[in-house]
Copies of this chain bind each other. A is one copy, B any other.
Amino acid sequence: MLQTAANSSNRPSRAAIAAATGLTRATVSALVDDLIAGRLLTEHDPAPRTGAGRPAAGLALNPEGPAGLGLEINVDYLAACVVSLTGEVRHRFVEHGDQRPLSPTAALEALDALATRARSAAEADGLTVAGAALAVPGLVAADGLVRVAPNLGWQDVEVPPLLPGLAGLPLVVDNEANLAALGELRAAPDGRTFLYVSGEVGIGAGIVLDGELFRGVRGWSGEIGHVTVFPDGRPCRCGANGCLEQYAGQEAMAADAPLAASALGIALSAVVNLLDIGTIVLGGAYAPELPRLQAGIEAELARRVLTAGLAPVSLRAATLGADAAMRGAADAVIQAVRDDPAAWLGR
């Protein structure tokens, strides 16, 4: 209801909501008063106008209301951002640095400091951080335990105790490509079925089918970085040979962009042959590189997808660019508030 009634650009009035829903004006006013008191809605005075009757005040989401803290740890950077209830990025911090030599404790200590800075900046603005979500480049179990993050060298890391600065705040830990795919779904809601591919040092994917993230039987879908492209090829950190990551990961891409494009095209052709997905969204380090990669990827798709002649596959850069994972993380927090405002009001 909150989204439908209050997130439209035309700022409905209390009277309009009562008319649209069939609730009494008294009931609507009581609900709206609660949402305003909880800082979820604001009521704007209308612009003065000429003519008969008193114009009604309009309701909108409160940009100063509960905010989401999005966090990301990746192989070569840490990041944090604060996103308002209206989806605006209010603060953004990125700290470059190779995380591979660090223990999980040391890496998360640095992230905790960054998260604390972001939270303080939000609070200095008068925002209340409603929760945090952390994007991790690895396999995250349903309970938030990071089972394996091969490129970080992590195994079975329980994150919350290592982020003491966030104590008391709801914290979700999820795979970075999954969070980025969900962020992309909300940012560009015209595409309900797509494959999101996140190119970092490692490569992950989020599979969105008819508006829902497909997580797989055990929550570990989307490991496109370990799809074999050259069976006897380069050894991978995972123990196999010829994984996509070894040809189209960020470092390999910098060394040989045409090979990265071709390898990515081979793996994406497998996805399209298997799932008949018509839209591929390239994010992370791929987003700014798309002009250099596109022709090479499309040549492989045209050659290797059985239905290429019948049904086109469209390729585009992520709307949220390289920030998709941390934006998706922050977005997951504010989406949870928007989906269930009563839980926020009753906290």
Contacts and interface: CB of A to CB of B under 8 A. Distances in A.
Interface stretch (A75-83, A164-172, A214-222): A214-222
24 contacts: A139-B306, A148-B306, A148-B307, A148-B310, A209-B214, A214-B275, A215-B276, A216-B275, A218-B278, A219-B276, A223-B274, A223-B307, A226-B304, A226-B306, A227-B269, A227-B270, A227-B273, A227-B274, A228-B270, A239-B303, A240-B304, A270-B270, A274-B274, A274-B275
A238 interface: yes
A231 B230 contact: yes
A150 interface: yes
Contacts of A262: 231
A277 interface: yes
Interface of A: 139, 147-148, 150, 193, 205, 207, 209, 214-224, 226-231, 238-240, 243, 262, 266-267, 269-271, 273-278, 303-307, 310-311
Contact of A220 (B207, B220, B231, B310): B310
Q: How many copies does the complex hold?
A: 2
Given A218-B278, A276-B215, A223 B271 contact: no
Nearest to A224: B274
A266 B228 CA distance: 7
A305 B240 CA distance: 8
Contacts of A205: 274
Nearest to A218: B311
Q: Dominant SS at the A interface?
A: loop
A217 B273 contact: no
A97 to B, nearest CB: 26
Contacts of A219: 276
Contacts of A193: 217
Contacts of A266: 228, 231
A306 B238 contact: yes
A34 B310 CA distance: 47
Given A218-B276, A310-B220, A240 B147 contact: no
A148 to B, nearest CB: 7
A28 to B, nearest CB: 39
Given A217-B311, A226-B304, A229-B231, 14 more contacts: A150-B306, A209-B214, A214-B275, A215-B276, A217-B278, A218-B276, A220-B310, A220-B311, A222-B274, A222-B276, A226-B273, A227-B269, A227-B274, A270-B270
